[in-house]
């Protein structure tokens, strides 16, 4: 009896908010070595990464990436181990990171040009961290901060979704560069974590201040010298308040607008502030910057291996828990990098 690969496919496109009914469970046999083509590798996934970008891929409309096809395995980053290999560069037992999708196993054509499979060293960095601070989210934080915001010691840097996979990296990297760092996060526990564990100077709880005027007042109190760099993960009310606090020639790295992913994004209240304060506002997609990967992962890997970069994970158990965990991420129910443990 061949082993079974449990999978989750995109069953239907969301109308408004995504629901569990949009996902479809499926299964397929796991191939044997004899059935594996030359150059291919069979990977057993240990963790699946759940990321906000997946919500955009569920829509029909084309964004910076093609929509996820209906009936196909949901896209997703994975880490795991090589179970079978017909490729000389991969041996059984190698720990690997790839784009295996929402399933327990994947077959990768490792000989294909641009194949998404890399070996990782887990001697000093845990395997799951290659989906977090030493993987795509970490490099995202590194790119927006180092390449776009270009922080200088003594400047004030603000980051939203501060306790999350990207935000936590941004804040710690900015602290290491001598900045005053202020996070924005949802709830007292996340804010306490950001200040007490991650070492930010302050954190503004957007849930405690749902009224835009009250939120602005709290942000103003936390940023007495204004804001020089803002790393945008959320949008909506938070961006409006930040724009009112930006110093002249400030820089904004536009990474995400998660507040609008599951419905209608809110329009910017006062775009003229970009001109008035001569701001640099730059959006970016991390996958378009493979050139920074070696430098960024070197710094991030060293910081994680030496305990100078802290990270937190929300781990859902088993593939079947992925849809609920993903929907929770879009509502801020995760606390740190959202993963699904598959083994």
Ligand X SMILES: NC(=O)c1ccc[n+]([C@@H]2O[C@H](COP(=O)([O-])OP(=O)(O)OC[C@H]3O[C@@H](n4cnc5c(N)ncnc54)[C@H](OP(=O)(O)O)[C@@H]3O)[C@@H](O)[C@H]2O)c1
Q: Which is nearer to ligand X, 73 or 166 (CB)?
A: 166
Which of 80, 133, 138, 256 is in the footprint of ligand X by CB under 6 A? Answer: 256
Number of residues counted as binding ligand X (CB under 6 A): 29
| 133 touches ligand X by CB under 6 A | no
Give the span between the Cα atoms of 61 and 22, in whole angstroms: 16
Give the span between the Cα atoms of 194 and 244, in whole angstroms: 23
| 285 touches ligand X by CB under 6 A | yes
Q: How many other CB atoms sit within 10 Å of the CB of residue 88?
A: 9
Which of 195, 316, 330, 340 is in the footprint of ligand X by CB under 6 A? Answer: 330
- Which strands form 202-205's sheet, in the order they lie side by side? 202-205, 180-185, 156-160, 227-232, 246-254, 280-283
Give the span between the Cα atoms of 244 and 257, in whole angstroms: 18
Map residue 23 onto helix, strand or coil: strand
Residues of this chain, 26-65, that bind ligand X according to CB under 6 A: 51-53
Residue 241 Cβ vs ligand X, minimum distance, rounded to whole Å: 13
Residues of this chain, 179-208, that bind ligand X according to CB under 6 A: 185-186, 190
Which of 151, 167, 229, 301 is in the footprint of ligand X by CB under 6 A? Answer: 167
Q: Which is nearer to ligand X, 42 or 74 (CB)?
A: 74
| 334 touches ligand X by CB under 6 A | yes
Number of helices (H), then strands (E), in the chain: 9, 15
Q: Which two tokens stand for residue 75?
A: 């896209």
Residue 7 Cβ vs ligand X, minimum distance, rounded to whole Å: 23
Give the span between the Cα atoms of 240 and 219, in whole angstroms: 11
Give percent helix, percent strand, percent coil of the chain, each to the nearest 5: 30, 25, 45
Find the part of the chain contacting ligand X (CB under 6 A) among 11-19, 74-82, 163-171, 215-223.
163-171
Which of 218, 329, 339, 342 is in the footprint of ligand X by CB under 6 A? Answer: 329
| 140 touches ligand X by CB under 6 A | yes
Find the part of the chain contacting ligand X (CB under 6 A) among 158-166, 215-223, 244-252, 318-326.
158-166
Q: Which DSSP symbol is given to 94?
A: -
Is the four-CA dihedral 77, 79, 84, 90 of positive or negative sign? Answer: positive
Which of 146, 234, 242, 303 is in the footprint of ligand X by CB under 6 A? Answer: 234
Q: Kind and range of the H or E element at 198? A: none
Interface contacts to ligand X, rule CB under 6 A: 51-53, 137, 140, 161, 163-167, 185-186, 190, 233-234, 255-256, 258-259, 284-286, 329-332, 334, 337
């Amino acid at each position: 009896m061949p082993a079974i690969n449990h999978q989750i496919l995109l069953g239907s496109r969301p109308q408004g908010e995504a629901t569990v009914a949009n996902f479809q469970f499926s299964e397929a046999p796991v191939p044997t070595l004899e059935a594996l083509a030359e150059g291919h590798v069979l990977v057993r996934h240990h963790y699946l990464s759940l990321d906000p970008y997946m919500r955009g891929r569920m829509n029909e409309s084309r964004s910076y990436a093609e929509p996820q096809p209906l009936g196909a395995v949901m896209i997703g980053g994975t880490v795991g181990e090589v179970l079978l290999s017909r490729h000389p560069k991969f041996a059984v037992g190698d720990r690997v990171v790839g784009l295996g999708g929402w399933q327990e196993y994947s077959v990768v054509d490792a000989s294909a040009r641009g194949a998404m499979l890399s070996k990782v060293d887990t001697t000093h960095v845990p395997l799951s961290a290659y989906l977090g601070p030493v993987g795509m989210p970490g490099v995202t934080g590194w790119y927006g901060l180092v390449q776009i915001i270009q922080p200088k010691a003594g400047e004030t840097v603000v980051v939203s979704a501060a306790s999350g996979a990207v935000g936590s990296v941004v804040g710690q990297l900015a602290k290491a560069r001598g900045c005053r760092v202020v996070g924005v996060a949802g709830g007292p526990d996340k804010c306490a974590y950001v200040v007490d564990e991650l070492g930010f100077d302050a954190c503004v709880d957007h849930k405690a201040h749902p009224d835009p005027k009250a939120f602005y007042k709290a942000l103003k109190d936390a940023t007495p010298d204004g804001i020089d760099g803002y790393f945008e993960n959320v949008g909506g009310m938070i961006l409006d308040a930040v724009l009112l606090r930006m110093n002249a020639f400030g820089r904004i790295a536009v990474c995400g607008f998660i507040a609008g992913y599951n419905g209608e994004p809110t329009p910017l209240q006062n775009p003229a502030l970009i001109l008035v304060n001569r701001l640099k506002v730059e959006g970016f997609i991390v996958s378009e910057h493979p050139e920074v990967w070696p430098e960024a992962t070197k710094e991030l890997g060293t910081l994680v291996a030496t305990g100078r970069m802290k990270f937190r994970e929300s781990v859902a158990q088993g593939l079947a828990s992925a849809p609920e965990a993903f929907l929770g991420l879009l509502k801020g129910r995760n606390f740190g990098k959202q993963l699904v443990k598959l083994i």
